[in-house]
Amino acid sequence: MYCATRSLVFTSIFLLFSLPVIAQHGDWCACGRHSTEPASFEIDHTSSGWQNAASTSFARWDAYSDVFSWSIGNGAGGSNGINEIIFFGPATTLSQYGIVIDSNTFGVTYIDPNAAFGDPPFNACPPPAGTTCNFFDETDVIMNSEFARGWTTSPPNFNDTGPASYIATALHELGHALGIHHNFDSLTTMNYYEDFATIYLSLSDGAAARGNHTSQARAVADIATYPFRFSGYQYAGTTVASASPSTVDQGGQLTLQNFTVENPGSETLSEVYLRVYLSSNDFISGSDYLIGTLYWSSFSTWWDSTGTNFTVPTSVPPATYYIGAIISYNTSQTDGVTYNNSWGLDASRRVTVTGCVPDSFEADDSSGTASTLLNGVTQSHSICPVGDEDWARFSLSSSSAINVQTSGSSGDTRMWLRDGSVTEIEFDDDGGAGLFSLIDRVCGVDELPAGTYYIQIDEFGDDNRIDAYNLDLSVTPCQYLLTINREGTGTGTVTSSPSGINCGGDCSETYVSGTTVTLTPYPATGSVFAGWSGTDIDCSDGVVTINADLTCTATFAEDTALFADGFESGNTSAWSSTVP
């Protein structure tokens, strides 16, 4: 006789099979099997509820290989040459089978003969070298009627508390009846982990059922999704799926992590779709609110997620929702094995969607959709949903000082100033009032030249929304002083175009930066214009572009032409035609 138990396991086919397909997904080992298959089992339960749960457990294994047939028995149990599944307590288990269990034991599998399940016996994969296997004469699954937590046929919770799942333990123990051993490093019902994971027959289990019973293997198309991820050893390896943040705006981003997709069937599947929904109840259906779809053109093994982002549509009404998923292939929503096509998380993992009214400038989430920001005109914005960005664009016709800032009753913004090619010029976090932002560019120090500019704004941390804030731009074109000096032995005046200088009496004028000023000298009688000089080389031709304060000097010289005697008398007949 031999026993294998889900708790304290004294693990015990004609051929030994050990197939490590993919680490943690697909690997399995088995030793022993029934000589006649499908093996006939009696369900020795008197309650229809337990009878149905047992039938469900047999059927899940039978989907992958025609290994079981079952019927309602007489409830006798014991070592009698009949394969049975039955409730017994510790005392009856000891008297009928000689197996010791206690209130912490979920269940055990009696296997006779002992050596058929492995000689020498071994508890878990991989089997020792030289292990031999053989046929089973009898296998009985004993469900512990005195298990401390009790039993339920309802789906297990994600906290692994309360009554244990009948189906989870029955699947595990029936796996032993098929010759399959424990595998503590893989996602399999033959592991030791929580009921919410054990209720699924995985890629490893489907491969084991087919591989250890090749003549009974079924061709089956099956795509599965699980609300957990396995990445470790026994209980420490399972992590329940969850969504974050727990509160999200309409249009906001939701991250779903720690869920799994597997293909436990025998066929590579095409056009696989995993659709994620928000639902008002824990029954997820295609009529719920779809928030995203994952797609594989071909799927043969497994995939899992440590974090996948989905966007909550703005059409989802504000409320608290369950979150779950449905998987399908080709155009169907289901396949031949339906229990593993969908899941929904429990109430403790629900998501609250809050109302979020986009501001009137949306969608302004990139430079290509930036709103036009005008000098002195306040824009009212919001950072909504969480993760939103606002972009604005403004243009300068001349070098200017600018002051751009955010403000509001509450919020924490960040702000970038970018040039026309969207290259960052300046960044500010909390330079404004409170936690708002301010960028200030000053004439003569760091004014902006003429051109197009962008402002990018988000919420610090991208983890909160800002229901309302203001964006303001103040532009002051830079002005510089042009001064004209007059020097030399002669005299004259200077005027400007554009007007402003008539020097003479008005020898300085302020011009907007970038203005081109043409200076025109007018020498007085008896004087000539001798040229330009000044603080900037731009003065040399009398045409200057204003981009800083500058001084230009006009030099006038006395006319030095020499004349013969009689010039001063005005007697033109005395003028000489020769000028030495």
Share of the chain above pLDDT 90, in %: 81
Q: pLDDT per residue over 338-352, tens digit each?
A: 999 999 999 999 999
List the beta bridge partners of residue 480. Answer: 511
State the pLDDT at residue 228. Answer: 97
Q: How confident is the model at residue 333 (pLDDT cuts 50, 70, 90)?
A: low
8 A C-beta contact, residue 335 and residue 223: yes
State the pLDDT at residue 74. Answer: 86
State the pLDDT at residue 236. Answer: 85
Using DSSP's 3-state secondary structure scheme, residue 168 falls into helix
Q: pLDDT per residue over 470-499, tens digit each?
A: 999 999 999 999 999 999 999 999 999 999
- Cα radius of gyration (the chain): 44
Does 269 score more than 80 pLDDT?
yes
Q: pLDDT per residue over 372-417, tens digit each?
A: 999 999 999 999 888 889 999 999 999 999 999 999 999 999 999 9
Does 446 score more than 60 pLDDT?
yes
Mean pLDDT of 227-238: 91
List the beta bridge partners of residue 487. Answer: 555
Does 331 score more than 90 pLDDT?
no
Mean pLDDT of 293-301: 96
Tokens matching residue 299: 């799927």
Does 181 score more than 70 pLDDT?
yes
State the pLDDT at residue 568. Answer: 47
Q: How confident is the model at residue 180 (pLDDT cuts 50, 70, 90)?
A: very high
**507-516, 541-550, 566-575: which range is least confident on average?**
566-575
Does 2 score more than 50 pLDDT?
no
Q: pLDDT per residue over 115-150, tens digit each?
A: 999 999 999 999 999 999 999 999 999 999 999 999
Tokens matching residue 237: 């390896």
Does 575 score more than 90 pLDDT?
no
Cα dihedral 355, 358, 360, 365, rounded to 10, equals: 180
Q: pLDDT per residue over 65-112, tens digit each?
A: 999 999 999 878 899 999 999 999 999 999 999 999 999 999 999 999
Domains of the chain: residue spans and CATH: 2-214 (3.40.390.10), 236-354 (2.60.40.10), 367-477 (2.60.120.380), 479-558 (2.60.40.1140)
Does 576 score more than 70 pLDDT?
no
Spatial neighbors of 437 by CB under 8 A, at least 6 apart, are: 405, 406, 413, 414, 415, 428, 429, 430, 431, 457
Q: How confident is the model at residue 334 (pLDDT cuts 50, 70, 90)?
A: low
Report which secondary-structure segment, H or E, holds 184. none
State the pLDDT at residue 5. Answer: 52
Please state the φ and ψ torsions of residue 228, each to the nearest 5 degrees. -160, 170
- DSSP per residue, 239-286: EE-EEE-SEEETT-EEEEESEEEE--SSS-EEEEEEEEEEESSSS--T
8 A C-beta contact, residue 193 and residue 234: yes
The mean predicted confidence, pLDDT, of the chain is: 91
When comparing pLDDT for 498 and 331, which is higher? 498
